[in-house]
Structure 1
């Protein structure tokens, strides 16, 4: 017997997990495009938009 997921939007989405996956993907792209062996900490912060989070109002 084969079980198939029902059609109709019953999938559960974890928005935090999806955001983390997106950031990991962006890091992988940045690392593959890097001219050096490793990304600098500043480059990683830029990809992860650390400064934007730090400067966001309401924190």
Structure 2
């Protein structure tokens, strides 16, 4: 007997987990495209959009 999820849409989405999975995927893609053995810290920050997030936080907090 095969069980399937109910049609009523009881699946729960964890938006934080989905965002983390997307970021990991972005890092994997960047690492596979890199011409060096490792990504630099600057490259990792660029992929994760660290500067953009900091600017957004500074604008919201000040």
Q: How many residues align?
A: 59
Task: Tell me which residue corresponds to 1:34.
Answer: 34
Over the aligned positions, Cα root-mean-square deviation in angstroms equals: 1.1
Task: Tell me which residue corresponds to 2:48.
Answer: 48
Unpaired stretches in structure 1, ≥5 consecutive residues: none
TM-score (norm 1): 0.91
How far did residue 8 of structure 1 move? 3.4
Give the Cα separation in 2 of the matches to 1:8 and 1:19: 25
TM-score (norm 2): 0.87
Runs of 4+ more than 4 Å apart: none
Select the structure that is richer in helix. 2
Task: Tell me which residue corresponds to 2:60.
Answer: 58
